Amino acid sequence: MAQDRTAVDTIKGYFYQFDFYIFKILSSTNDFDEFTIEGIEDVDIGTPQGLTAVQCKYYEGTEFNYSKISNAVRLMLEYFVDHRNVSFFLYGHYKSGQDKLEKTISIDSLKSKFLTYKRGNKKYELHVEKGLSDDELSLFLNHLHIDINALSIEEQLCEVYKLIKKEFKFKTDVESYLSYAIGLNIVRELSTSKDIGHRKISRKNFINRIRETRKDCLDIWFKKRVSEDVYCASIKRKYFASYNISPKERFFIIDATGEKTPIIKKIIQTISDRWRDISQRQKNPYCPYVYIHGVSPEDKLELLKSIYNDGVVFIDGYNYLNAEFDVNSIIKSANHKNGIVLKVIEEADQILEIIHTIQGKQKEIYQFYKEKEIITCQDAISILIDEIDTITKMV
Domain count for the chain: 2
145 within some domain: yes
Phi, psi (5° rounding) for residue 244? Answer: -100, 90
Give residue-wise pLDDT tens across range 234-282: 888 888 876 667 889 999 999 999 999 999 999 999 999 999 999 999 9
**Would you state the pLDDT for residue 1?**
38
Same domain, 181 and 329: no
59 within some domain: yes
pLDDT class of 224 with cuts at 50, 70, 90: low
34 vs 39: CA distance, rounded Å? 12
385 vs 245: CA distance, rounded Å? 24
Same domain, 288 and 326: yes
Under 8 Å CB-to-CB from 303, ≥6 apart: which residues? 261, 264, 265, 268, 292, 295
Same domain, 164 and 31: yes
Same domain, 262 and 132: no
218 within some domain: no
208 within some domain: yes
**Would you state the pLDDT for residue 322?**
86
Instruction: Please give the single-letter amino acid code of residue 334.
Output: A
Same domain, 151 and 200: yes
Q: Are 251 and 366 in contact (CB under 8 A)?
A: yes
Q: Give me the CATH number covering residue 320.
A: 3.40.309
* Among 250, 219, 209, residue whose Cα is nearest residue 385: 219
pLDDT over threshold 70, residue 24: yes
Same domain, 69 and 187: yes
Phi, psi (5° rounding) for residue 100? Answer: -70, -25
Instruction: Please give the single-letter amino acid code of residue 73.
Output: V
pLDDT over threshold 90, residue 73: yes
pLDDT over threshold 50, residue 14: yes
Give residue-wise pLDDT tens across range 97-146: 999 999 899 999 999 999 999 888 889 999 999 999 999 999 999 999 99
End position of a domain, from candidates 213, 228, 257: 213
What is the share, in percent, of the chain residues with pLDDT greater than 70?
96
pLDDT over threshold 90, residue 39: yes
Mean pLDDT of 42-70: 94
Q: Are 372 and 385 in contact (CB under 8 A)?
A: no
Q: Are 176 and 161 in contact (CB under 8 A)?
A: yes
6 vs 253: CA distance, rounded Å? 52
3-state secondary structure string across the chain: CHHHHHHHHHHHHHHHHHHHHHHHHHHCCCCCCEEEECCCCCEEEEECCEEEEEEEEEEEEEECCCHHHHHHHHHHHHHHHHCCCEEEEEEEEEEECHHHCCCCCCHHHHHHHHHEEEECCEEEEHHHHCCCCHHHHHHHHHCEEEECECCCHHHHHHHHHHHHHHHCCCCCHHHHHHHHHHHHHHHHHHHCCCCHHHHEEEHHHHHHHHHHHHHHHHHHHHHHHCCHHHHHHHHHHHHCCCCCCCCCEEEEEEECCCCCHHHHHHHHHHHHHHCCECCCCCCCCECCEEEEECCCHHHHHHHHHHHHHCCCCEECCCCCCCCCCCHHHHCCCCCCCCCCCEEEECCCHHHHHHHHHCCCCCEEEEEEECCCCCCCCCCEEEEECCCHHHHHHHC
286 vs 259: CA distance, rounded Å? 28
pLDDT class of 45 with cuts at 50, 70, 90: very high
Same domain, 356 and 280: yes
pLDDT over threshold 80, residue 31: yes
The 10 Å Cβ neighbour count of residue 21 is 29
**Would you state the pLDDT for residue 3?**
46
Same domain, 205 and 245: no
pLDDT class of 7 with cuts at 50, 70, 90: low
Domain enclosing residue 364, as ranges: 238-394
pLDDT class of 2 with cuts at 50, 70, 90: very low
**Would you state the pLDDT for residue 276?**
94
Same domain, 208 and 246: no
Mean pLDDT of 82-97: 95
**Would you state the pLDDT for residue 290?**
98
**Would you state the pLDDT for residue 229?**
80
Phi, psi (5° rounding) for residue 310? Answer: -80, 0
Residues in a beta bridge with 35 = 45, 201
**Would you state the pLDDT for residue 243?**
62
Question: How far does the chain reach from its first CA to its final CA, in angstroms?
Answer: 62
**Would you state the pLDDT for residue 236?**
87
Same domain, 300 and 209: no
Mean pLDDT of 10-28: 92
Judging by beta carbons within 10 Å of its beta carbon (0-12, 13-18, 19+), is residue 181 exposed, middle or buried?
middle
Q: Are 299 and 259 in contact (CB under 8 A)?
A: no
Q: Are 168 and 208 in contact (CB under 8 A)?
A: no
End position of a domain, from candidates 213, 246, 267: 213
293 within some domain: yes
Same domain, 318 and 183: no
pLDDT class of 79 with cuts at 50, 70, 90: very high
Mean pLDDT of 63-74: 94
222 within some domain: no
Give residue-wise pLDDT tens across range 312-363: 999 999 998 889 999 999 999 999 999 999 999 999 999 999 999 998 899 9
Same domain, 19 and 103: yes
99 within some domain: yes
Instruction: Say how many CA atoms lie within 13 Å of 118 toward its Cβ.
Output: 3
225 within some domain: no
242 vs 364: CA distance, rounded Å? 13
* Among 393, 390, 388, residue whose Cα is nearest residue 291: 388
Give residue-wise pLDDT tens across range 198-219: 999 999 999 999 988 887 777 7
What is the share, in percent, of the chain residues with pLDDT greater than 90?
71
| pLDDT-wise least confident of 168-172, 185-189, 284-288 | 168-172
End position of a domain, from candidates 159, 180, 213: 213
